[in-house]
Chain A
């Protein structure tokens, strides 16, 4: 099979990329996905709050997905569901396996990588203690509860204040579990403020900052966890350790972009984001291969995934092998990373996405070029859990662009 644009993943990023590719003239747009249903992780996100930026409404995950699935169907996007990509070669030939197609290949002119992300596991954290049943990632629990209708446990402790953990604290409570506490290793939450208010505060679930699990207990099923406060170097303080009985430990300790396919192509990766290095067209280091969504950088809001993926889909549709003129973006003081990592000098204004390294209040986000401020914003609060952005004019770019978060606008 041949495709003008092949999109890997039918989640929010893949859907938006496919629709944008169609809108921008790509004739045959094929989306491949491992699941039987479209929408990626959205169908299990039955809470609301999706689409505020794009639609000005608070949609549920399935509703948000449904809008884009309809748009994609109307645009004439071809879907290959229950089809998993095994590999992509340097000629952009995709090898995939699926129940309907067996093993098949797709020769694509351009490819959009939109595989999403996965959750960090207890093993990856090297969490000490026993390894009983009752320990799982918050997203796995979300699937059990929202898709299968089963409870992973009764007395729950959640480690990590990522958004999925916060959402699951509320969900588990509403479904009849006793959520005892949410522990966060860092002195600040990794999740959105609105989720802390709506999912913890409203249900009197304590959020213990600078706390972690130091031991899991239970030979067969979890019987409890030992928790402790951590010092400024994040080392547990033994004198503060206490036993909390529970039969379930949910982990919401970080998301990791899924990039086995990108790595198989030897695409240049960003060790901070875990995603590919891209330019402002969302093109990776390999010509004609684009990346977007949580496979590129872990987002907090699906609306931004959609916007980013639309840019990738458009660029994929318009892809021609041409020499581009780039400048680099640089994460300066107070900034963990900036995406895109490269800016194409093409006359189009650019939006830079970045994250803070720590919580600040009333500080400025600033973009500088050759020492000159080209964009800045005063922010009520910057936090690592909330993605920031700045828009810069292409005309102002005269070299590398450094983004900082500073106390005063100098």
Chain B
């Protein structure tokens, strides 16, 4: 079979594009190297929907961010993904910072993003936890927070429901073109497609080169994060940024849609595209930075740390467009911040671009933009909880004790494609709480083994080579 379009990379960009294309009456596949969607930058980033004042006026970043931010509410409603339009504050501590705020405001005006300069006191009024030392702040009401991996998972689920074929564990190693058809060597299979969309994130430079398209270099930029417990009292209502300095945008502090607080990222240019290790210095920098904005942050309330790699663009802007040298090959590369915010708009733009390249724009009448989320027992009303248990006893078995995740939700996450402990965690939130899987991991593994008809010892944390157990007791004696 020849696909009309093959999308390489099942991150938020690839998945959102797949979803857009799934509305058309064409054959589409989504190819992912890893064992699950959202395995790269979409798994580990700040989860911020930027208002769009920051990007350079006239850039792709500015255009798609402003459009994407405006589309996020409807997109997340359709996909059943948590999103909150919480607003953001860029805080200033001195005159220099205040000049930076004024510049951001000018950019916002140019980009058509309403912002407001507040005094320190006004900022503390809307976010009482903020430091007394803050002298001024730039307030952007339209900014928000979204769960990046949930958005990716939801978009891919929606695309699959509309007929898109997802190939996991299928690293693209070769691309050839014969008689107007691309032959893609992906993992253990060969995939044929008329059009390729390159949304391979950190690896999009390699994919572009493989296809004989534009040559550019994507470098990873590491960002380290700290997640704080829901019970930490030092919470903010808004996303808090530091006024940008010569050293960059700095560390942010944000509430998450799960009621935790998230601090990060650092910005370290590295070479190794797989190096997601956190460091003592990086974590210290994150902690010290956010304590400057909110002095009551408690180190002891950290529940986990992680690092993500952004795909740093050599042009400082998104690389989006049809290749000049390879026919029917579209790059969607260098999607660094504000890529998540821009994703809905980029997806629509890419669809239009593909249609202009000759892709049929005939609608698939059976396609839907709606995707039902896994219903969260913990968030349901008491009445609804009773109904849920009446319909499925497994709702009465709470497996993850910190987040009150039930067996029914875990089974549903497996039905929707979770194959590993992390797969369950990213779909059903089991193991995301303060004990971070200490209690529930053995139980989640038990359910995975049962539902997938596997032996307990075969269960992996996050894909190939990550088995949790090494065998039975006394085997090595």
Within the complex, the shortest CB–CB distance from A186 to chain B, in Å, comes to: 17
Instruction: Verify B441–A140 contact, CB threshold 8 A.
Output: yes
Say which residue of A82, A123, A214 sits within 8 Å of B436 (CB atoms).
A123
| Distance between A396 CB and nearest chain B CB, rounded to angstroms | 37
Q: Contact: B302 with A263, CB < 8 Å?
A: no
Residue B279 at the chain A interface, CB threshold 8 Å: yes
Q: Does B389 belong to the interface (CB within 8 Å)?
A: yes
From 363 to 392 in chain B, residues with beta carbon under 8 angstroms from any chain A beta carbon are: 382, 385-386, 389-390
Q: Classify chain A's interface size.
A: 35 or more
Residue A154 is within 8 A (CB to CB) of chain B in the complex:
yes
The reply to whether the CB of A118 lies closer than 8 angstroms to some CB of chain B is yes
List the A residue with the shortest CB-CB distance to B464: A220
Whether A119 sits at the interface, judged by CB under 8 Å, is yes
* Complex Cα spacing A123 to B464, Å: 23
List, in ascending order, chain A residues with CB within 8 A of B396's CB: 97-99, 101-103
Q: Which residues of B contact A263 (CB under 8 A)?
A: 231
With A121-B436, A154-B476, A219-B274 in contact, do A34 and B398 touch (Cβ < 8 Å)? Answer: yes
Q: Which residues of B contact A143 (CB under 8 A)?
A: 442
Q: How far is the CB of A159 from chain B (nearest CB, A)?
A: 14
A148 to B279, Cβ gap below 8 A?
no
Nearest chain-B residue to A123 (Cβ)? B304
Per-residue B-contact encoding for A114-129, CB less than 8 Å = 1, 0 else: 0000110111101111
Q: Return A161 CB to nearest CB of chain B, in Å.
A: 18
Nearest CB in chain A: distance from B87 CB, A = 28
| A103 close to B386 (CB less than 8 A) | yes
Query: A149: nearest residue on chain B (CB-CB)?
Result: B473
Q: Are A220 and B465 in contact (CB under 8 A)?
A: yes
Which of A102, A127, A151 contacts B390, CB < 8 Å? A102
Interface residues as binary, B453-471 with A (CB distance below 8 Å gives 1, 0 otherwise): 0001100111111111111
Contact of A153 with B474 at beta-carbon distance under 8 Å, contacts A102-B386, A126-B226 already known = no
Contact of A133 among B304, B461, B471 (CB under 8 A): B461
In the assembled complex, A247 has its CB within 8 A of some CB on chain B: yes
The B-contacting residues of A in range 172-221, CB under 8 angstroms, are 175-177, 214-217, 219-221
Minimum Cβ distance to chain B for residue A202 (Å): 17
Q: Are B435 and A118 in contact (CB under 8 A)?
A: yes
Q: Name the interface size band of chain B.
A: 35 or more
B-side contacts of A127, CB under 8 Å? 305
Interfacial residues of chain B within 420-477, with CB under 8 A of chain A in the complex: 434-439, 441-442, 456-457, 460-477
Question: CB distance B390 to A128 under 8 Å?
Answer: no
Known A103-B385, A150-B472, A152-B468; contact A126-B305, beta-carbon cutoff 8 A:
yes
B435 adjacent to A119 (CB under 8 Å): yes
**Interface pair A121/B303, CB less than 8 Å apart:** yes
Residues of B within 8 A of A151 (CB): 469-473, 475-476
Task: Specify which of B226, B304, B435, B477 is in contact with A176 (CB 8 Å cutoff).
Answer: B477
Residue of B nearest to A236 (CB): B280
**Chain A residues with CB below 8 A from B461, complex form:** 132-133, 220
Q: Assuming A151-B476, A215-B277, A220-B463, is B389 touching A128 (CB within 8 A)?
A: no
CA distance A122 to B439 in the complex (A): 14
* A145 contacts the other chain (CB 8 A): yes
Check: A137 CB closer than 8 A to any chain B CB: yes
With a cutoff of 8 Å between Cβ atoms, the chain A residues found around residue B435 in the complex are: 118-119, 121
Q: Which of B240-282 contact A (CB under 8 A)?
A: 274, 276-280, 282
The 0/1 profile, CB within 8 Å of A marked 1, for residues 266-309 of chain B is 00000000101111101100000000000000011011111000
Q: How far is the CA of A122 from the CA of B477 in the complex (A)?
A: 29
Q: B434: which A residues are within 8 A, CB to CB?
A: 118, 121, 124
Interface: B133 (CB within 8 A): no
Most buried by B among A82, A124, A129, A248: A124
Answer whether residue B60 sits at the interface, using C-beta atoms and an 8 A cutoff.
Answer: no
Closest Cβ of chain B to A149, distance in Å, is 5
Instruction: Choose from B282, B436, B470 the contact partner of A153 (Cβ within 8 Å).
Output: B470
CB of B18 within 8 Å of the partner chain: no
List residues of chain A with CB within 8 A of the CB of B442: 140, 143-144, 147-148
**Cα-based distance from A248 to B299 in the complex (angstroms):** 26
Q: How far is the CA of A150 from the CA of B279 in the complex (A)?
A: 32
Shortest Cβ distance from B390 into A: residue: A102
Closest to A147 in B: B442
Q: Is A84 among interface residues, defined by CB-CB distance under 8 A?
A: yes
Please indicate the chain A residues that have their CB under 8 angstroms from the CB of B27 in the complex.
none
Expressed in whole angstroms, the Cα–Cα distance for A57 and B470 within the complex equals 36
Task: Tell me, yes or no, whether A139 is within 8 Å of chain B by CB.
Answer: yes
3 shortest interchain CB distances as A-B pairs: A123-B304, A176-B476, A220-B465
20 A-B pairs in the complex with CB atoms less than 8 angstroms apart = A34-B401, A82-B397, A97-B385, A103-B389, A118-B435, A119-B435, A121-B434, A126-B302, A130-B277, A133-B461, A133-B466, A137-B438, A139-B438, A140-B439, A140-B441, A144-B469, A177-B476, A215-B277, A220-B461, A220-B463
B residues lining the A interface (CB < 8 Å): 226-227, 231, 274, 276-280, 282-283, 299-300, 302-306, 382, 385-386, 389-390, 393, 396-398, 401, 404, 434-439, 441-442, 456-457, 460-477
